[in-house]
Structure 1
Amino acid sequence: MSFPPELLPHYTPRLVLRRFDDTDLQPFLAYRNDPEVARYQSWSMFAPTDAQHFIREMKRARIGEPGEWFQIAIAERRTNRLLGDIGMCVDAQRPTHMELGFTLALPAQGQGYGREAVQAWITRTFQHTAITTIVGITDSRNMPSRKLLQALGMQWTRTDEREFKGESCLEETYAVTALGWQP
């Protein structure tokens, strides 16, 4: 099951959710190589060649392929400037469940862009696909991420002890269902 390709691009009042394009390389490298942005992410640094490969892959990847992560570019609607991305992965074992994550460049944080983008993507996912449950997982120390998941109406489901980047942490899982979603 992949998602309908016409889900992207999608326009919100201030943003466009779209596929990555070649003009995204420098802003992508800037936020992906920012240690503050990468602190709670699975990556730490991105070489230019890795970023080029990533963008090339995302330009042609199928949206919603079970077991495969797909990144959606979050860009400013007026300028098309890349601000961050939403990652999503449909569960290969339960194809009605999807995990999502989000990353914003430091200058774009604290302006409501994350909420606007993730809320729009969750709404589109529930309206146009067979997904019934969406989860977000975050380090308990990542207060902005936790606040965003809670502000979206996602409910805490569990906390697990993990080792992440060489240190112990608590990983919190939040979830929302199509029936419980209230954009």
Structure 2
Amino acid sequence: MKTVIFGNSGSGKSTYAKSLAEQTACPHLDLDSIAWDPTATTPTRRPLQDSAARIDAFVQAADSWVIEGCYADLLALALPRATDLVFLNPGVDTCIANARNRPWEPHKYPSPEAQNANLNMLIGWIRDYAERDDEFSLAAHRRLFDAFAGRKREFTSNDRGTGALGHR
């Protein structure tokens, strides 16, 4: 199983990916860990070729894996090797509620206070999901989902048992 999971910020990607990786005993790659330049003083994306090399090394290192993120440009690099695609699309209100309730993410923020200071910006970002047309947008995610020829599922709620659409 080689699974790619994507969706809006707050859609539950990290939670679902971690759970799936634990259940299947396979490695998990959070694209946030390779998308951003950790040495930059302001948020700056790494050059695409650097992230691509990291994705390539990750997918070649294991027979099964889980990759998750919101970066359509990076996800597209993994999709040719994926067997399964999961689109978490529970709606903006659910994503905002999840963002408000998420625990501190020490791999992204130096403190819970720093994470909370970013919350209003994040909520605005989540709200703009359907209006944007960048690599983080609903439009970009829909294009990825529609073009994928393998097994794919779209979840429209946090309940992974009853909110599934698009089974193949």
- TM-score (normalised: structure 1): 0.30
Structure holding more helix per residue = 2
Name the TM-score, length of structure 2 as normaliser: 0.32
Structure number with the bigger relative contact order (C-alpha 8 A, sep ≥ 6) is 2
